[in-house]
């Protein structure tokens, strides 16, 4: 039986370097037999948080939120691929996660971070650990950090 894993990525930049790392993670998870689904915040195009999914009357949430809620509820675990923005959390990924709460509860989450520099997104990873824990996920204490991303992974995630 394979694990159903969501890989979540939140960069909205036009030259998204972290997509390389997201694709690398997806490839590695699939190679070990996991059922992996990629959640790209930019492709979904969620609005800035105005109302959480649970605050919509049943059946009235935007279609993208309904679909994403089902994907989250159906997952066995999550991998958050995050860049570091000014020593902090990636805003696009934070916006995506904040639309939900109970949907995340009691499932494992891993953090894979990156940056343009040598610190590999370590500060964002630390910030995410507390945030995801507070949202009810069981966060793996060890993280993976990659940096400098442009020199570490090619555009083909190799």
**pLDDT tens track of the chain, all 158 residues?**
789 999 999 999 988 899 999 999 999 999 999 999 999 999 998 889 999 999 999 999 999 999 999 999 999 999 999 999 888 899 999 999 999 999 999 999 999 999 888 889 899 999 999 999 999 999 999 999 998 887 887 777 77
Task: With respect to residue 48, please indicate whether it lies within any of the assigned structural domains.
Answer: yes
Residue 101: Cβ within 10 Å count: 14
Task: With respect to residue 158, please indicate whether it lies within any of the assigned structural domains.
Answer: no
In whole angstroms, what is the distance from residue 2 CA to residue 65 CA?
26
Task: With respect to residue 42, please indicate whether it lies within any of the assigned structural domains.
Answer: yes
* Domain coverage including residue 29: 4-152
Task: With respect to residue 157, please indicate whether it lies within any of the assigned structural domains.
Answer: no
Report how many domains make up the chain. 1
Residue 153's pLDDT is: 78
Residue 61's pLDDT is: 95
* H or E segment and range at residue 44: helix 41-44
Enter the pTM of the model.
0.94
What is the C-alpha end-to-end distance of the chain, expressed in Å? 28
∠5-92-19 over CA atoms, to 5°? 55
Q: Quick one: how far is CA 99 from the chain centroid?
A: 13
Task: With respect to residue 95, please indicate whether it lies within any of the assigned structural domains.
Answer: yes
Task: With respect to residue 101, please indicate whether it lies within any of the assigned structural domains.
Answer: yes
CATH label of the domain that carries residue 74: 3.40.50.360
Distances (CA, A) of 118 to 51, 127, 131, 157: 37, 18, 23, 18
Helix and strand numbers, DSSP H then E, in the chain: 6, 6
Task: With respect to residue 16, please indicate whether it lies within any of the assigned structural domains.
Answer: yes
């Amino acid at each position: 039986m394979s694990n159903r894993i969501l890989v979540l990525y939140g960069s909205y930049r036009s030259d998204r370097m972290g997509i390389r790392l997201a694709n690398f993670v997806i490839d590695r998870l699939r190679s070990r037999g996991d059922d992996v689904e990629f959640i790209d915040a930019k492709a979904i195009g969620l609005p800035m948080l105005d109302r959480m999914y649970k605050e919509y009357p049943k059946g009235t949430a935007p279609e993208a939120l309904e679909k994403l809620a089902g994907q989250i509820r159906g997952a066995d675990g999550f991998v958050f691929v995050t860049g570091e923005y000014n020593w902090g959390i990636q805003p696009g990924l934070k916006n995506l996660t904040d639309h939900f709460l109970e949907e995340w509860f009691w499932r494992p989450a891993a953090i894979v971070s990156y940056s343009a520099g040598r610190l590999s997104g370590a500060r964002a990873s630390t910030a995410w650990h507390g945030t995801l824990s507070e949202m009810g996920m069981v966060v793996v204490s060890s993280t993976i950090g990659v940096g400098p991303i442009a020199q570490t992974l090619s555009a083909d995630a190799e």
